[in-house]
Structure formats: C-alpha cells, structure tokens
C-alpha cells in the first residue's frame, strides 16, 4: 500500500529549489556576476521482465520518481569562476522513487521509496576555476566530473574530489588531472542515504587516479590523445575482488585517443583505448596483467530535419575456460576485459566509472531504476560496456520546432563465448545476447517545460535460451533464468522536465 503520499508531494513542492526560484542572473557589481539555474524531473516509470525475462512471474514495477538540482555560478572578471550544484536523486543517479506500491527490485537489491531526509539535496558538485597569476594556465579544484573523449575509457560519470591544471586556446589545449576516488563518499555535505549502502556503495578504498590529455583542433576537426593511471593500494581484506587471488596493489593504466571530424553535414568520430599495468598478487603467485582494449566509432549525416546515424562499440572481455567452470575455480592471471576500474576492486565502481550510454533497457541507459539485463561480464555490471560488440543504427527527426523524436536499433553480442554446465559437462554458450528497439520523444510546451517519452523493448538472444545446470559457477556468465526459455522485457518512462 502506498503511504504518506501527501508528505512526499508536500516535500517536492515546497522543498525543491527548482520550484522556489526562477532562473536568475545578477550583476552583483560591474565585475561580479551570479547566475542560478534549476531543473526538476518528475517521471512515471514502468518496467517488466527486466530481472527474470519471464512473463509468467509478477515482477513488474510501476513507480513515480524524481530528480532535481539547483546550480549556482559566480564569475569575477574573466579569471575566476566558482560553481556549486545541489542535487537530489536516486541510487547511482537514477530517478529516485517517491510513490510506488512496494519496494523496487533491482539487480543489486531492493530500493524503497525515498522520504525525509533522503529527498533533501546534497552538495553534488562544487569547484573553483582560476587563472594562475597572469600565466596562460588555469587551475581547477573541488568536486567535479572529469571526462575524456566519449567517456568510455577513463571514467567521468561521477563527481570526485580532485584538481586540474590546464591550458587552452583556440587550436590547442592540454590538461593534467588528479582524483581521489571514494573521498566523495566520506565527505558528504547533505543527507546520507542508508539504503544506498546496501547497494554495495562501500567507502573504504585507498586509491589515486591521475590522467593527462591534450587536444589539437583544426577547423571543425579535433584529435585528443590521453593516458590515465589508477593506483590502488587498498588492502586485500577490503576489496571486492573478482579474482580468487589476494591483491594488495593494483596499477591499471589506460592509453587512447579520440578523433572527431566534421565535414559540413557529415560527422565522423573514432576512439580507441588499451589497458596496461598489473595487479600485484600476494605470495608466490604471478601478477594479474591488464590487457583489455576498446574501439568505438560513430557517423551521422544531417538532412536538416532528419539525421540518420550509426555507432559501433567493440570492447574486449575475459575468456572462460571449460576446466575452470567444471572445477568452479578461476585460474587466469590475465585481465583481458577492458576496464575503467580494476576487477580486483569493485568498490571503486561508485567513483571511477564510464560516462557513456548504451541501450535504455539492456544496459540500463535510461533514468528509471533498471540496471540492465544480466549478461557475461567480469564486473557483473551491465552498464559497463565491456566484453561486448554493440552495433547501433538510429535516426533523429525534428518533427516541428518544438517536437523531436528518435529511433534506435541495437544488437548485443558478447566479445568472448561464455561457458556453462549441462549434465555435468561444459558447454560453450552462444554469444548472441539479443536485440533492442528504443524510442524517445520530446515536446517543448514552453521554454521551461517539456514532456518526454522514453521506451525500450529487449528481445533476448540465444545466450538466454541455453539450458544450464551451473547457475553461473564462476560469476562471469549470469543469466536471469537457465531453463531454456525467455520472454521480452520492456521499459516505459513518461517524464515532465521543468527548467528555470
């Protein structure tokens, strides 16, 4: 039964800054300017079969959710900028539930309706950016996201405490950044949400992340090489480690480059990256070597109101050995899965995380509390686009000045064949994960109010129709069911967004 609806709605209306303040710009002095921007999203969400791919089970979810934020930006002359963002939303930045008929089941546990004080905003992002003593350099410090390229390779999804020094002009820029992962989960300015701890949001890692990138521009084209290093000295007793070997130090490096070229109405992009480094295993055992790699490409062409486009992502994965599956022990000392954070410490997933988006339903690319459909992965996280071949075709249509829609088709295939057990024998599982059709529509009622519809339907592939007895022995080949049968899954989001 839904309880205390009035309390939730009262809090949303009277405590959400987005409804209290209008968009405002102030000239506090001739040199000092203040701007305030507010955003509120209210959504109605329906999910079905995403956890079990079984229409005979009553696992559907319907709930009302929200996300809201207020941004304050202060600039002084041309050399100092200060920024603060207050935000309230759900676990891992999905829409938080405020009205539902019960707890919401997800891949990582149950989520209850948010109430006071959970819906009070916290300081999500704040930083100061300043020119360095009249030099052609700038310095940025605070809590903020740091994204490179398309966001696939070196994180950028979450805000972290860190600092950057950089230089930029019209045709060339460079940046050196440092991040302290997990510090944001220890220093929280605002309410702490107890139920998020139950979703494996752990706050006890000891890691450092450093990156360097540079960008060269010529005309409408750009080239951005980059390198990053995640140095993790978390003790083995405080790690969530996919490998059975105790690790006390891990150095995960990533080197890559991103290219973007624009030829009038044609846009072409390409990015490649590769992991390097190793995890030090305690004792006499050999180290775990990081060998993953990733390639991404996209192309689009604008015909004024119609823009066809296509994407392709190829991301390496770990190969499963049939003897490992039969024995129930993972013996490989190679991490061939492309990694943004290391599989030797999954606790870092709440801070060092990719910022790219895939299909709405299969990889949890929407706003509703759906983390995706379980599939082969060393991380057990469907949003992480690793061990995957993901081609996409889509089209954007500008129907009217205020109404736009988009259609997307996705095909999902594992990079490596997973292995299961049937009748005490190892079997090679199909790499065919399935297909998804996504639809998005947005209508601007006014300058400040828009109505959005997001839908996705996932059609399971042969992998999910394999009969198995093992139930994912190694934790590398999960499936919602193992009886050889599946049903499609669906997701529908209807949202109102208000900006001021």
> Which tokens go with 375?
């599939």
Q: How many other C-beta atoms lie within 10 A of the C-beta of residue 421?
A: 19
Q: How far is CA 316 from CA 13, 256, 387, 478, in A?
A: 47, 15, 5, 18
User: Closest by alpha carbon to 371, among 165, 141, 125, 105?
Assistant: 105
Token pair recorded at residue 56: 């005979």
* CATH class for the domain made up of 139-499: mainly beta
Say if CB 353 and CB 155 are below 8 A apart: yes
Say how far apart CA 351 and CA 124 lie, in whole Å. 13
* Partners of 219 in the β-ladder: none
What are the Cα distances from residue 11, in Å, to 3, 4, 5, 294? 14, 11, 10, 45
Q: How many CB atoms lie within 10 A of CB 258?
A: 23
**Is-contact 69 85, C-beta < 8 A?**
yes
The string of pLDDT tens digits covering residues 429-483 is: 999 999 999 999 999 999 899 999 999 999 999 999 999 988 888 888 889 989 9
Task: Tell me the C-alpha to C-alpha distance, in Å, between residue 141 and each of 176, 189, 209.
Answer: 12, 17, 15
E strands, 145-292, in order: 160-168, 172-180, 207-218, 221-232, 247-263, 266-281, 288-290
Q: What is the pLDDT of residues 205-216, one digit of tens each?
A: 899 999 999 999
Q: Could you identify the residue written with the tokens 């983390």? A: 371
The closest alpha carbon to 130, from 161, 166, 156, belongs to 166
Return the half-sphere exposure (C-beta side, CA atoms, 13 A cut-off) of residue 25. 2
In three-state secondary structure terms, 496 is strand
As to burial, measured by CB atoms within 10 angstroms (0-12 exposed, 13-18 middle, 19+ buried), residue 27 is exposed
> What is the DSSP secondary structure assignment for residue 346, as one 8-state letter?
G
3-state secondary structure of 395: strand
CA dist 278 → 183, 240, 248, 344, 380 (Å): 24, 17, 11, 10, 21
- Distance between CA atoms of residues 54 and 273, nearest Å: 37
In the chain, the largest separation of any two C-alpha atoms, in whole Å, equals: 79
CB 173 within 8 A of CB 196: no
DSSP 3-state assignment of 124?
strand
Closest-CA residue to 104 (of 488, 368, 383, 487): 368
Q: What is the chain's pLDDT, residue by residue, as a tens digit (500 residues)?
A: 444 554 555 455 444 544 444 557 888 888 999 999 999 999 999 999 999 999 888 677 899 999 999 999 999 987 899 999 999 998 888 999 999 877 888 888 888 888 888 888 999 999 999 998 878 899 999 999 998 999 899 888 899 999 999 998 889 999 999 999 887 777 888 887 777 766 555 567 899 999 999 999 999 999 999 999 999 999 988 888 888 899 999 999 999 999 999 999 999 999 999 999 999 998 888 999 999 999 999 999 999 899 999 999 999 999 888 888 887 777 889 999 999 999 999 888 888 999 877 899 999 999 999 989 999 988 888 988 889 999 999 999 999 999 999 999 999 999 999 999 999 898 999 999 999 999 999 999 998 999 999 999 999 999 999 999 888 888 888 899 899 999 999 999 999 999 98
The residue among 352, 349, 350, 377 whose CA lies nearest residue 363 is 377
């Amino acid at each position: 039964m839904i309880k205390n609806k009035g309390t939730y709605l009262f809090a949303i209306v009277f405590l959400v800054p987005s409804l209290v303040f209008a968009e405002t710009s102030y000239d506090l002095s001739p040199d000092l300017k203040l701007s305030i921007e507010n955003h509120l999203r209210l959504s109605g969400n329906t999910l079905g079969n995403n956890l079990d791919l079984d229409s005979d089970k009553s696992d559907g979810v319907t709930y009302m959710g929200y996300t809201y934020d207020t941004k304050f930006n202060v600039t002084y002359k041309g050399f100092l900028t200060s920024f603060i963002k207050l935000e309230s939303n759900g676990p891992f930045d999905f829409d938080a539930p405020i009205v539902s008929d019960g707890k919401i089941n997800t891949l990582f546990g149950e989520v209850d309706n948010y109430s006071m004080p959970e819906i009070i905003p916290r300081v999500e992002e704040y930083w100061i950016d300043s020119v360095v003593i009249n030099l052609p350099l700038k310095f940025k410090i605070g809590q903020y996201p740091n994204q490179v390229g398309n966001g696939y390779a070196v994180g950028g999804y979450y805000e972290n405490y860190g600092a950057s020094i950089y230089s930029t002009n019209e045709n060339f820029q460079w940046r050196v950044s440092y991040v302290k992962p997990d510090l944001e989960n220890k220093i929280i300015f605002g309410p702490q949400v107890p139920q998020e701890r139950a979703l494996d949001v752990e706050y006890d890692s000891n890691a450092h992340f450093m990156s360097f990138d540079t960008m060269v521009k010529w005309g409408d084209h750009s080239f951005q090489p980059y390198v990053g290093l995640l140095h993790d000295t978390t003790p083995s007793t405080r790690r969530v480690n996919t490998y059975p070997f105790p690790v006390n130090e891990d150095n995960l490096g990533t080197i890559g480059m991103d290219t973007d070229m624009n030829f009038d109405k044609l846009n072409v992009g390409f990015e490649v990256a590769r992991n390097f480094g190793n995890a030090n295993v305690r004792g006499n055992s050999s180290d775990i070597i990081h060998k993953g790699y990733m390639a991404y490409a996209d192309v689009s062409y604008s015909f004024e109101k119609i823009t066809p486009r296509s994407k392709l992502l190829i991301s390496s994965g770990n190969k499963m050995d049939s003897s490992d599956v039969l024995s129930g022990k993972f013996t490989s000392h190679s991490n061939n899965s492309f990694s943004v954070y290391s599989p030797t410490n999954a606790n870092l997933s709440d801070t060092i995380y990719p910022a790219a988006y895939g299909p709405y339903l299969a990889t949890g690319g929407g706003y509703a509390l759906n983390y995706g459909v379980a599939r082969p992965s060393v991380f057990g996280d469907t949003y992480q686009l690793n061990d995957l071949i993901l081609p996409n075709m889509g089209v954007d249509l500008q129907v009217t000045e205020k109404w736009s829609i988009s259609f997307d088709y996705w095909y999902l295939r594992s990079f490596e064949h997973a292995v299961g057990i049937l009748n005490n024998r190892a079997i090679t599982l199909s790499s065919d994960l399935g297909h998804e059709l996504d639809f998005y529509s947005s209508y601007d009622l006014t300058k400040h109010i828009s109505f959005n519809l997001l839908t996705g339907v996932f059609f399971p592939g042969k992998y999910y129709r394999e009969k198995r007895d093992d139930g994912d022995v190694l934790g590398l080949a999960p499936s919602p069911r193992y009886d050889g049968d599946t049903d499609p899954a669906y997701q529908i989001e209807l949202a109102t967004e208000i900006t001021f």
